[in-house]
């Protein structure tokens, strides 16, 4: 006989926190390395940073996805909850705030870890101001497309491709958006705590997060326009995970 089981919430939160921590460590750490390796070439720095992020994100989705879905992004978690409300799929309301908290705490820890690995003060505050009109538009666009992509993959039964496809999109968005595509409130918060190539000043953070939330709302509307029943597969975001019951032998 086979019975449905779910991974307990603490394990899912550990997966989200660990994944967010390592994601920000990859982004910030590769940014520091890029500055040291190519101090006079910003374009090459961005290439090095984006390449490491694409590879790292692919691995992290594969690592934690089967446990928590590898949301690693409060916008994705919020949209997953919103779309799944009618069909009782996706992340449960009681789990939403813990997911977002784990993502935020993990992201901050990732910056502290990257700083420490490179011999910098573990706790720094960025002085890099980014919140121009163009940057905010870039964040809204980057987040809108990300949300649309994630839920389109789930709705069409291609969630297993999320790791390479989502990472590839993030890598492309590094280059085609003016903001270099943070597209993630937790990552944005984490990057406040590094005064390096990848940082963002505290004053720029609220507008960035607001633009990301607007992008998430637009992405939700676009998903529903393309796939009106997208909520039925909210359990499979980013990849199929124990929000959908798993079968184990008994």
pLDDT of residue 242: 61
Residue 2 forms part of a structural domain: no
Considering the entire predicted model, what is its pTM?
0.92
Q: What is the pLDDT of residues 198-228, one digit of tens each?
A: 999 999 999 999 999 999 999 999 999 999 9
The average pLDDT across 135-141 equals 98
Cα separations in angstroms, 168 against 67, 100, 207: 22, 24, 26
Q: What is the pLDDT of residues 238-249, one digit of tens each?
A: 887 764 444 444
Residue 240 forms part of a structural domain: no
pLDDT of residue 99: 98
| 237 contacts 151 by C-beta, under 8 angstroms | yes
- CA angle, corner 87, sides to 84 and 91, nearest 5? 35
Residue 225 forms part of a structural domain: yes
Q: In which domain, by residue range, is 173 found?
A: 8-231
CATH code, domain carrying 155: 1.20.1080.10
Q: What is the pLDDT of residues 19-45, one digit of tens each?
A: 999 999 999 999 999 999 999 999 999
Residue 250 forms part of a structural domain: no
Q: Kind of pairing, strands 246-249 and 2-5?
A: antiparallel
Q: What is the pLDDT of residues 81-134, one digit of tens each?
A: 999 988 889 999 999 999 999 999 999 999 999 999 999 999 999 999 999 999
The domain total for the chain is 1
Distance between CA atoms of residues 83 and 151, nearest Å:
10
Residue 242 forms part of a structural domain: no
DSSP result, 141-193: HHHHHHHHHHHHHHHTT-GGGHHHHHHHHHHHHHHHSTT-----HHHHHHGGG
| 34 contacts 45 by C-beta, under 8 angstroms | yes
pLDDT of residue 87: 87
| 187 contacts 60 by C-beta, under 8 angstroms | no
């Amino acid at each position: 006989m086979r019975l449905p089981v779910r991974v307990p919430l603490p394990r899912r939160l550990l997966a989200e926190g660990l994944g967010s921590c390592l994601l920000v460590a990859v982004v910030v750490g590769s940014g520091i390395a890029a500055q040291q390796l190519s101090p006079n070439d910003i374009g090459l720095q961005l290439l090095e940073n984006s390449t490491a992020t694409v590879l790292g994100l692919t691995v992290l989705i594969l690592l934690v996805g089967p446990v928590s879905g590898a949301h690693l992004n409060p916008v994705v978690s919020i949209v997953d909850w919103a779309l799944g409300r009618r069909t009782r799929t996706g992340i449960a309301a009681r789990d939403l705030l813990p997911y977002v908290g784990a993502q935020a705490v993990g992201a901050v820890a990732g910056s502290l870890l990257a700083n420490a690995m490179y011999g910098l003060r573990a706790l720094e505050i960025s002085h890099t101001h980014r919140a121009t009109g163009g940057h905010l538009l870039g964040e809204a666009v980057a987040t809108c497309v990300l949300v649309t992509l994630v839920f389109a993959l789930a709705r069409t039964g291609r969630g297993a491709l999320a790791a390479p496809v989502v990472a590839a999109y993030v890598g492309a968005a590094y280059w085609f958006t003016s903001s270099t595509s943070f597209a993630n409130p937790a990552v944005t918060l984490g990057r406040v705590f590094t005064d390096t190539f990848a940082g963002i000043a505290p004053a720029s953070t609220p507008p960035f997060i607001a633009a990301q939330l607007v992008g998430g709302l637009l992405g939700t509307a676009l998903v529903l326009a393309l796939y009106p029943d997208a909520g039925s597969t909210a359990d499979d975001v980013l990849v199929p995970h124990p929000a959908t019951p798993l079968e184990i032998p008994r």
